[in-house]
Amino acid sequence: MSDIPVRVRFAPSPTGPLHMGGVRTALYNYLFAKKNNGTFIIRIEDTDQTRFVPGAQEYIMDALQWCGIMPTEGPRLGGEYGPYIQSERKEMYRPYAEQLVADDKAYYAFDTAEELTEMREQAKKMGMPNWQYNSVTRTSLKNSLSLSTDDVQRRLDNGEAYVIRMKMPRNIDIRFEDEIRGWVVVNTNNLDDKVLFKSDGMPTYHLANIVDDHLMKISHVIRGEEWLPSAPLHVMLYDAFGWDCPKFAHLPLLLKPDGNGKLSKRDGDRLGFPVFPTDWKSEDGEIYTGYREQGYFPEAFINMLAFLGWNPGTTQELFSLSELVESFSLNRVAKAGAKFDPDKTRWFQQQYLRATDDAVLAEKLSPLLDNKYNLDQLTVVCQLMKERATFVKDIYSEGSFLLEPPTEFDETTVNKKWKDNAEQLMVDWQDRLGLISSFSAENIETEFKAFLEEKGLGIGAVLPLFRLLVTGKGMGPSMFDISAFLGKEECLKRISAGINTLQTA
Ligand code: GLU
């Protein structure tokens, strides 16, 4: 790495909530910055006022906070290179655009939107569907290259609306080396004269992006593949200003689970998984579910995201954020699109849940149950149930029998096991349980084995019935652990109550 300090930025436009693809971009920027002792910056790119969505900016900041990947410079955070919201930098951009005009790298264009639409329509009729404002067509359009100097001056003096366009030179190969894709070469004949400065006095994304990356001393531009087509223009702009170009790294797309096309915000609720980090309520009142509200831990979400496009080159899959920082490199980011896998995402969550301390899980579970159980009790519930849960809420939905007697009995087990001799067998077992003086899992197990021996029965003939009466379920954690947790009195009571219910059913 060169001596230039690493400064990277995540530059979302506040046109809606942050899609998980955006979070992945933010994450890779974060990891790259931390790995290289650099700075991670967030800049809000809101120059397109027509696409501004209220609340989006706050959403983005809150989402990064939840993910634990906060930048160190940006709105709310401050920093030496602010403001970090482009609309607040509005006045800075015009001189740069004017400078390009003065240097003959850009020009004023007076064509109205209607005139340009008309042009496109005409071209379409003549069999040219991809009409562009470029080095060929510009000569017959209304701009400072085709009009006389007087005419241009008169229009400017009259306050006529204009835009400033890039004067894209003809037939030049633009080359740059992308950190992920290698050399990219594009001929300028394939590029149009992009608008750099709009008639509303705002820069376009392209100009503002380059000016800000330069002023904010950005060393690496790490962003989504959808910006790759804009990169040659950006390279041209750096060149036009005589500035050094940052390094580019264009990240692979996130694909739908079947690999067919980009993962879009509509896919989420349609296919039953979230695409947003946290809940988002759209302006028309529609709610898009977030990972947070579904019960994902941010660490699991981040670990999963890190693997969408990157791999460590080993078989290790579980990485804390600091381990990700340690292992991350752009060299190991793939070019090909990364398929999102909802099952794998749940798997990550499961692993994180299992690795979480029982007492910590109990603290997370308690508020979901209106804090009505004591924490020691919940800690044991978590210990018994966490292997069978993906989310904290599952611990209760799967293990409520640990806190309350069952009200329903698993039908399959009832049909298969609640036979003629079942009741007597359970009454006998209940008597045996009653005799155990120290009601530990170990003692219950010893007694159970002796009981089977005596009756000449196998586990399958007795244990499912015991489980059914005590928990209402067909499966679950060790019955000896469950019984010990519930205590003798409760177990005996449940056996009687269960027998009563099943008798009358
Ligand atoms: N504002 C662009 C976006 O919304 C940023 C592209 C870039 O990082 O240059 O993604």
If you take atom 3 of ligand 1, which residue's CA is the nearest one?
12
Per-residue model confidence (pLDDT) at position 422 = 96
Ligand 1 geometric centre to CA of 209 (Å): 8
Ligand 1 geometric centre to CA of 2 (Å): 25
* Per-residue pLDDT at 282 exceeds 90: no
State the fold for domain 265-355: Glutamyl-tRNA Synthetase; domain 2 (1.10.1160)
Pocket test for ligand 1, best of 227, 230, 250 (most atoms within 8 A of CB): 227
pLDDT bin (cut points 50, 70, 90) of residue 264 is confident
Average of per-residue pLDDT across 63-85: 97
Domain layout of the chain by residue ranges: 7-74+206-253, 93-197, 265-355, 357-399, 405-504
State which amino acid sits at residue 383: Q
Ligand 1 geometric centre to CA of 214 (Å): 15
Residue 430 in contact with ligand 1 by CB distance below 6 A: no
Judge residue 60's burial from the number of C-beta atoms within 10 Å of its C-beta, 0-12 exposed, 13-18 middle, 19 or more buried.
buried
Residue 223 in contact with ligand 1 by CB distance below 6 A: yes
State the Cα angle at 133 between 188 and 209, rounded to 5°: 65
Residue 48 in contact with ligand 1 by CB distance below 6 A: no
Q: pLDDT, tens digit, for every residue of 98-143? A: 999 999 999 999 999 999 999 999 999 999 999 999 999 999 999 9
Q: pLDDT, tens digit, for every residue of 336-376? A: 999 999 999 999 999 999 999 999 999 999 999 999 999 99
Ligand 1 geometric centre to CA of 112 (Å): 27
Report the predicted TM-score, pTM, of the whole model to 2 decimal places.
Answer: 0.94
* Per-residue pLDDT at 383 exceeds 90: yes
Ligand 1 geometric centre to CA of 230 (Å): 10
Pocket test for ligand 1, best of 18, 29, 209 (most atoms within 8 A of CB): 209
Say if CB 233 and CB 111 are below 8 A apart: no
Residue 213 in contact with ligand 1 by CB distance below 6 A: no
pLDDT bin (cut points 50, 70, 90) of residue 443 is very high
DSSP string, 376-396: HHHHHHHHHHGGG-SSHHHHH
Residue 142 in contact with ligand 1 by CB distance below 6 A: no
Average of per-residue pLDDT across 277-284: 91
Whether 265 sits among the annotated catalytic residues: the reply is yes
Residue 252 in contact with ligand 1 by CB distance below 6 A: no
Strands 163-166 and 195-197: antiparallel
Residue 227 CA, closest ligand 1 atom number: 6
Residue 25 in contact with ligand 1 by CB distance below 6 A: no
Pocket test for ligand 1, best of 43, 85, 89, 205 (most atoms within 8 A of CB): 205
Say if CB 137 and CB 131 are below 8 A apart: yes
Ligand 1 geometric centre to CA of 224 (Å): 8
Per-residue model confidence (pLDDT) at position 270 = 77
pLDDT bin (cut points 50, 70, 90) of residue 272 is confident
Per-residue model confidence (pLDDT) at position 2 = 58
Average of per-residue pLDDT across 320-326: 98
Pocket test for ligand 1, best of 207, 223, 248, 251 (most atoms within 8 A of CB): 223
Average of per-residue pLDDT across 206-221: 98
How far is C-alpha 59 from the geometric centre of its chain's CA atoms? 13
Residue 209 in contact with ligand 1 by CB distance below 6 A: yes
Q: pLDDT, tens digit, for every residue of 457-495? A: 999 999 999 999 999 999 999 999 999 999 999 999 999
How far is C-alpha 111 from the geometric centre of its chain's CA atoms? 41
Residue 207 in contact with ligand 1 by CB distance below 6 A: no
Q: pLDDT, tens digit, for every residue of 28-48? A: 999 999 999 999 999 999 998
Which residue in the list 35, 256, 262, 265 is annotated as catalytic?
Answer: 265
Residue 223 CA, closest ligand 1 atom number: 8
Per-residue model confidence (pLDDT) at position 408 = 96
Q: Return the axis-axis angle of helices 56-67 and 20-35, rounded to nearest 10°.
A: 50
Judge residue 259's burial from the number of C-beta atoms within 10 Å of its C-beta, 0-12 exposed, 13-18 middle, 19 or more buried.
exposed
Q: pLDDT, tens digit, for every residue of 177-193? A: 999 999 999 999 999 99
For the sheet with 7-10, list strands across it: 39-42, 7-10, 220-224, 247-251, 173-178, 182-187
State the fold for domain 405-504: Arc Repressor Mutant, subunit A (1.10.10)
For the chain, give the mean pLDDT.
96
Residues near 102 by beta carbon (within 8 Å), at least 6 away in sequence:
none
For the beta carbon of residue 437, count every other beta carbon within 10 angstroms.
6
Residue 45 CA, closest ligand 1 atom number: 1
Strands 182-187 and 173-178: antiparallel
State the fold for domain 7-74+206-253: Rossmann fold (3.40.50)
Alpha helices in 103-227 (DSSP H): 113-125, 149-157, 205-215
Residue 294 in contact with ligand 1 by CB distance below 6 A: no
* Per-residue pLDDT at 1 exceeds 70: no
Q: pLDDT, tens digit, for every residue of 8-22? A: 999 999 999 999 999
Say if CB 195 and CB 222 are below 8 A apart: no
Classify domain 93-197 at the CATH class level: alpha beta
Per-residue model confidence (pLDDT) at position 130 = 92
Per-residue model confidence (pLDDT) at position 145 = 98
